[in-house]
Amino acid sequence: MKQKLQNLLGDHSPDIFVVPMGIEIPPALDTDKRRQLRHKLGLGSKTFVLVSFGNITPNRRLDKAIEAFAWFHQMYPDSVYFIIGHFIETHHKEYILNTVRFYNVDKSVHFPGYLAKDKFYEYLAVADMSINLRHPSFGETSASLLRALAMGIPALVSDTNQYKEYPDSCTFKIQPDTPYEVDLIIDYLRFFAEHPEERRYVAEQARQYILQNHTLPLSATRYISIYKSLLKK
């Protein structure tokens, strides 16, 4: 993004600084703790758990995600999809609920609504994968995505500007508005459902990426460095 801005502004480009968003790092959970949380939420130890989170708006492409999950669910009936957050628009809520009913997955797609932080982390702790599509994009950083990666959850994201900055080792890019958008989501879900050892490897890559780039101390240090460099001018 920085390079694109510099190219756009050309010779008149001012100094452009990049400060990655910092988040509070949730503690790593062992297998026993995750199993306890699954039991608490009524989930089996082998249930494949998919999550999406954040304000539910049209650009989140949940209709595509639900369609993909419906096909995946036929192959892996022991699977659930939690869509966490609240609807911003009433007519979009009706559209999404109708989509769930159309694909006959209303018993497997759940809408917990807005969750307090502790409860939100419980759902992240039991998740196997997340879908965090956004198109068209407004260029924002998703704090929820960073928290999910910090919990070691592989993420499917739209292949748009801000998501291109995330490493391919833990975020898997889905090209929006293409004939194969839904098929690609299904392929990723199937791959990680069939290869739990790969999912565990990606989970560790995701957490290490956050620890190395998105902690609060790292963000604060970057701001201080920028301020010092500007004061010297």
Lay out the sheet containing 129-132: strands in order across.
109-113, 79-84, 48-53, 129-132, 155-158, 171-174
Answer whether 139's CB lies under 8 Å from 161's CB.
yes
Element (H, E) at 83: strand 79-84
Q: What CATH number is given to the structural domain containing 182?
A: 3.40.50.2000
Answer yes or no: is 109 within a domain: yes
Answer yes or no: is 231 within a domain: no
What's 148-180 look like in SS3?
A: HHHCCCCEEEECCHHHHCCCCCCEEEECCCCCC
The candidate with the shortest Cα–Cα distance to 144, out of 164, 167, 121, 113, is: 121
pLDDT for res 56: 95
Answer yes or no: is 14 within a domain: no
Type of residue at 233: K
Answer yes or no: is 149 within a domain: yes
**Whether the predicted model's global pTM rises above the 0.85 cut:** yes
Number of domains observed in the structure of the chain: 1
Answer yes or no: is 129 within a domain: yes
What's 86-133 look like in SS3?
A: CECCHHHHHHHHHHHHHCCCCCCEEEEECCCHHHHHHHHHHCCEEEEC
pLDDT for res 14: 67
pLDDT for res 158: 95
Answer yes or no: is 233 within a domain: no
Q: What count of other Cβ atoms lies within 10 Å of the Cβ of residue 127?
A: 23
Answer yes or no: is 93 within a domain: yes
CA angle 210, 212, 215 (to 5 degrees): 60
Element (H, E) at 79: strand 79-84
pLDDT for res 233: 72
Q: What count of other Cβ atoms lies within 10 Å of the Cβ of residue 151?
A: 24
Mean pLDDT by 10 residues, the chain (233 residues): 59 76 88 91 95 94 98 98 96 97 98 93 95 87 92 94 90 95 98 95 95 95 91 81
Answer yes or no: is 21 within a domain: no
Domain extent for 203: 27-211
Task: Assign 1 to helix, strand or coil.
Answer: coil
